[in-house]
Amino acid sequence: MMTEELQRKAQAIKLVAFDIDGIMTDGRLYFTSLGDEIKAFNVKDGLGLKLLRDSGVEVAIITGRTSELVNRRARDLKIGKLIQGREDKKIALQELMQQEGLSVDQVAYMGDDLPDLPAIRLAGLGVTVSDALPIVRQHADLITEAKGGDGAVREFCDWLMLAQGNLNSILEPYLS
């Protein structure tokens, strides 16, 4: 739902930072018998991130875990702002804002669990998924209908581009 307040907040966003586990994935951790980690990413989310970046919004990842799979996903999607191994996501987001010269109002953060809550509360637009913890949903400005790892990132990217008035121009090449 697009309220006037959400529309106003969305208009100001220049950078969106995303958590990985529970946002870009379903939050489950898979390990092979050799101890190798496996993550499943939604391809629709990946295109949504690319389209969001093409619309002029910068994309970043802030995650508490460190994973070569996340390095690869960020590299594949050309996401240069990757912060791994940071449980203090609010501080990591503040550092990123300072590096980019952005104010709180110009930043959105999407996360799903307690380590994300301070960053969600700090960001000008705090976003979470439908299967996030109740306390996280309580503090988010926007809750996706989709669950984490199930197209929630794409849903938010499309929502933000629509709110900023960029979705039609982004879709045009696909419709002509």
Single-letter residue type at 1: M
Q: What pTM was estimated for this model as a whole?
A: 0.96
pLDDT in tens, 141-173: 999 999 999 999 999 999 999 999 999 999 999
CA–CA gap between residue 62 and residue 174 (Å, rounded):
31
Q: What is the pLDDT of residue 43?
A: 96
**Contact call for residues 49 and 153 (beta carbons, < 8 A):** yes
pLDDT tens digits, 9-19: 999 999 999 99
